[in-house]
Amino acid sequence: MSAPARPVEGRFFTPAIQIMLALWGLGTVAGLYRFTHGLGAATSMNDGYPWGLWIAFDVVVGTGLASGGYAMALLVYVFNKGRYHPLVRPALVTSLLGYSVAGVAVAFDLGRFWNMWRIPVSVWDWNGTSVLLEVALCMMAYTAVLFLEVSPALLERWAASGREDRAALARAWLPRVERALPFVVAVGLVLPTMHQSSLGSLLLVAGTKLHGLWHTGLLPLLFLLTAVAMGYAVIYFESIFSSVAFRRPLETRLLGRLGVFIAGVIAAFVVVRFAGLFLSGRIGLTVSSGVHSFFFWAETLLFLGAAWLFMQQGVRAHAPGQLQAALLALFAGAMYRIDAFLTGFNPGQNWVYFPSLPELFVTLGLVATETMAYVFLVRKFPILAGVTAPASRTVPAAAARQGVVS
């Protein structure tokens, strides 16, 4: 835990943030409309497509994109690659934000949202065969775990702050949190392994509705692999994004060494998927299913393209290639998940679904809120490493903490 992470500081209300605020406003208006007029008025969802954009994108894709914390924790704390430590904290922050946004999206989506509290509380009503219950409980627990994992950043700031009461609190809690951290990290690895695979298992029951190119008993494994791939890809994206946005040095070489590993994960996904299709005698569907075949190949080519570019990073790391690789992998993973939940889903009887404007506004508003929260947090708290902080704040968090511990 020697990463000298520092607050970025600087002005918060940049033009980009002002645009996000406008999107937040649109999302809020659309959200109010949903709560006052009901889901039927605000969304395009119907009895055939009871899950729409909010579940398929905000929750299923959103938590996939929020798998960065999971991916990095696996690398640093399990495979013990300490050199990647500077990437862990920003990854945990985006994961925390991503899962929080998913939770808010679920509150928008649930018809009887005021009953939500029953899910973690009414233990005697828990249905052991419900995949969704497992996903819901795991995601709630994981959000709490992510908060614990991120909390040292908050406590370090307080420890270094001038206010004596806060500093005392931080000094008392930092060592405790850090002692518990190995166990917290382990819990934070088990939970996403469970619910990211279970996101795929959610669709196992829909055998008569989900197209054969997506419906397979291997769904949990395929979703877990996409979570890992998207998790590492989002680390690339975030690192490059924050370098450009906050003028900190690129982590090109550090990221480059990861490339071969990510390529391997993506290759495993493609191999497992094709093996499943071969073994179930469905390989013909890849050419005979019209628009579904098109989407299948689009996903596959995006994945393979991403794997190829990631592989190159192991040989010669360069930032533009990394950004391309990351974007391809993120698109591929997002597309696979959207296709499994919407494009490949056909309830029959001529039902159609395309998200309504309020649905899009709510989703855009949530993404904007998430981005604003990230910018706010990295400006105020010691999250990013390699930041050249102004002279007034050069007390490095690690140094402040050493004083605390001794």
Partner 1 sequence: MAEMTRRTALRTLGAAGAACAALAPGEAEARVARQPDPEDHGLLVDVVRCIGCRACVTRCKEANGKPPDVRTVAGAAYDAPVDLNATTLTVIKRWAGEREAGFVKAQCMHCVHPACASVCMMKALHKGEHGIVEYDVSKCVGCRYCQIACPFNVPKFEWASVAPRIVKCELCRHRAKDGKGPACAEVCPRDAVTAGKRGALLAEARRRIAERPRAYEREVYGETDGGGTNVLYLAPVDFAVLGLPELGRDPAPALSEVIQGGIYQGFAAPLVLLGALSIVTWKNARAARKEEER
Stretch touching partner 1 by CB under 8 A, among 185-193, 232-240, 252-260, 385-393:
185-193
C-alpha 251/C-alpha 248 separation (Å) is 9
123-162 residues near partner 1, rule: CB under 8 A: 125-127, 129-134, 136
| Cβ-contact 250, 239 below 8 angstroms | yes
Q: Which residues are 210's β-sheet partners?
A: 345
For partner 1, give the closer residue by CB, 33 or 241: 33
* Nearest Cα residue to 155 out of 382, 338, 317: 382
Stretch touching partner 1 by CB under 8 A, among 16-24, 105-113, 142-150, 359-367:
105-113
384-385 and 5-6 beta bridge pairing: antiparallel
Stretch touching partner 1 by CB under 8 A, among 91-99, 186-194, 308-316, 375-383:
186-194
The answer to whether 119 contacts partner 1 (rule: CB under 8 A) is: yes
3-state secondary structure of 193: helix
Contacts of residue 31, defined as CB under 8 A and 6 or more positions apart, other chains included, come to 108, 362, 365
CA atoms within 13 A on the CB side of 72: 29
3-state secondary structure of 345: strand
At closest approach, how far in Å is the CB of 251 from partner 1? 20
For partner 1, give the closer residue by CB, 18 or 127: 127
For partner 1, give the closer residue by CB, 122 or 388: 122
Q: Helices H, strands E: what count in the chain?
A: 16, 2
For partner 1, give the closer residue by CB, 189 or 329: 189
Stretch touching partner 1 by CB under 8 A, among 10-18, 164-172, 192-200, 379-387:
192-200
C-alpha 109/C-alpha 347 separation (Å) is 20
For partner 1, give the closer residue by CB, 109 or 251: 109
The answer to whether 265 contacts partner 1 (rule: CB under 8 A) is: no
* Binding residues for partner 1, total number by CB under 8 A: 72
7-66 residues near partner 1, rule: CB under 8 A: 35-41, 45-48, 50-51
The answer to whether 229 contacts partner 1 (rule: CB under 8 A) is: no
